[in-house]
Structure 1
Amino acid sequence: MPEPILSLNRLEAHYGDFQALYGVDLEMHEGEVLAIIGANGAGKTTLLRSVSGLMSNAAAQVVYCGTPIGALRADEIAALGIALVPEGRQLFPSLSVEENLLIGGRLNREGPWSLSAVFELFPVLKERRAYPSTALSGGQQQMVAIGRALMSNPDLILFDEISLGLAPVIIKSIYDALPGIVGDGMSAVIVEQDISKALSVSDRVYCLMEGRVSLEGPSANISREAISRAYFGVA
């Protein structure tokens, strides 16, 4: 078995006096799609914030391609090839669609993703390239957030609540695009509240409950009963 691309080693995270993660262990390998599920407040977003450098941790608690990165800044981690699609999109409201996308390319990492490639993935963004990001629908804004992350040509992309608040038809279009995103060997972590979606697109799944891993295994082999026990803590 090759070395994992990402390892979390007894990861802990705090917001002041509040502890959000308690000794989380996780591994993923190159080209793998990993789903993180759990109820609200389980620690899913905190986990992604820790991996992407938005929260600082002990260096050895987050290891990427063999390098401890837990204490690095977000910009340093992005330069290593990790991109975050944040919850709520967090686009720059004063910039156009195209300008938001171009910001993602400022790292100048080599790879397949360019403005034209993003427009091919999401043709509606090409039609609206000059629009202010605030003039788009929620689903279109999510496409911009995904495109902005892809423009950095990451090796690992983190999706935080990829379908939150979107209409079912938009969710389907975004998930339909996912194979084109990870098809060239990119690794992905997907935080998702829709358990069926999470299981259908992932190789393995981790369930968090109150900041701890309550279940881990291949997505195809985990029963709904096991997920219910892990998700809600019921016997």
Structure 2
Amino acid sequence: MNNRYNKLGIKQTIQKHWMDYTLNMLLAGLSEKEIRSELDTYLSTQKQSGGIGERGQKTYGMAISILSSWISPEKELIPFRDKALNLAKVIPDSEWLPLHWAVISASYPFWFNTAKQTGRLFNLQEKITKAQVFNRLKECYGDRETVSRNARYTVRSFVAWGILQDTETKGVYTKANPFMIDNPQQAILLFEAYLHTLPEAKAELGSIIHNPGFFPFQMQSMTGEYIAQNSDFLEVSRYSLDNEILKLKNN
């Protein structure tokens, strides 16, 4: 099995403006080597908290690994990354958050799985704790300290992106207002990203559209036929009167 499905890899808090900076360089036509050089300088002054200050290469190098979801994804994800890049060219940068979410989720399924457990908890209660998220992830990945550590950085990234909100009690969070997605291509990109997190690369349509991992977003309803007609990477099949399966082509 591809190691991508099992790796953790979120080894520090990721700020959204780092993702914006990386994507802007890609759109400007810089090469991978040039972007990595620019990030090496830029991130040496960027703290995980979002502030400014000196950092060691060992710590900010971990951030570059995650930003590489845009720069140099795995070979199988390059067409998907290119689709996200083309979409970024025609929408304002204020609408890039779903694109960043998609490329990180595809490259690091742990990111999406953390969101899925977070969303499930919000379906049950208005406030959640980091311990609740960590415990659910340990059921999936094993009771290891590295799971809690990577989950902590992922949750703090959600806060940094404005997806979760801190409360007066440390380690307790509320859900922010959802990011409204009006462009169906952004929603379809998120659906494709989710399928890239699954080794089988397919899922029932309802479980995709209503997946708790999409809790940060509010999207319009759409049929499987519409999704498949508007994606070069997805195909739909019906297995009963009311149920459809979406899957990635060539999988």
Tell me the TM-score normalised to structure 2 length: 0.28
Could you say which structure has the greater relative contact order, defined with CA pairs below 8 angstroms and 6 or more residues apart?
A: 1
More strand by share: 1
Give the alignment's TM-score, normalised by structure 1.
0.29
More helix by share: 2
